[in-house]
Amino acid sequence: MSGITLTPIGLIRTPYQKTEGMPIQPAGAAQTPGQVIVDAAFEEGLDDLDGFSHIILLYQFHHANGYDLKVTPFLDTQRRGLFATRAPRRPNPIGLSVVALTRREGNVLHVAGIDVLDGTPLLDIKPFVPAFDAPAVTAVGWMAGQLDRTASTRADTRFQQPSGHKD
CATH number at residue 34: 2.40.30.70
Q: State the pLDDT at residue 167.
A: 43
Residue 121 half-sphere exposure, CB side, CA atoms within 13 Å? 12
For residues 23 and 31, give the distance between their C-alpha atoms in angstroms, rounded to a whole number. Answer: 12
For residues 117 and 115, give the distance between their C-alpha atoms in angstroms, rounded to a whole number. Answer: 7
The CA–CA distances, whole Å, from 3 to 6, 83, 103, 120 equal: 10, 21, 36, 22
∠ Cα 111 114 115 (to 5°)? 170
Is 57 within a domain? yes
Is 29 within a domain? yes
Q: For strand 108-112 and strand 80-81, is the pairing parallel, antiparallel, or unpaired?
A: unpaired
Report, as ranges of residue numbers, the positions in the chain whose pLDDT lies below 70: 1, 24-26, 138, 140, 142-143, 145-167
Q: State the pLDDT at residue 140.
A: 63
Q: Is 119 helix (H, G, I), strand (E, B) or coil?
A: coil
Q: State the pLDDT at residue 22.
A: 75
Is 73 within a domain? yes
Is 120 within a domain? yes
Asked if 80 contacts 72 with a C-beta cutoff of 8 angstroms, the reply is yes
Q: Is 73 helix (H, G, I), strand (E, B) or coil?
A: coil
Q: How many CB atoms lie within 10 A of CB 91?
A: 12
Q: State the pLDDT at residue 108.
A: 98
Q: How far is CA 110 from the centre of its chain?
A: 16
Is 40 within a domain? yes
Q: Domain span at residue 57?
A: 10-149
DSSP string, 3-68: -------EEEE-S--SSTT-BSSGGGTTT-EEEEEE-GGGGGGGTTGGG-SEEEEEEE-TT---B-
For residues 59 and 79, give the distance between their C-alpha atoms in angstroms, rounded to a whole number. Answer: 25
Is 101 within a domain? yes
Structurally, the chain folds into a number of domains equal to: 1
Q: State the pLDDT at residue 147.
A: 61
Is 2 within a domain? no
Is 166 within a domain? no
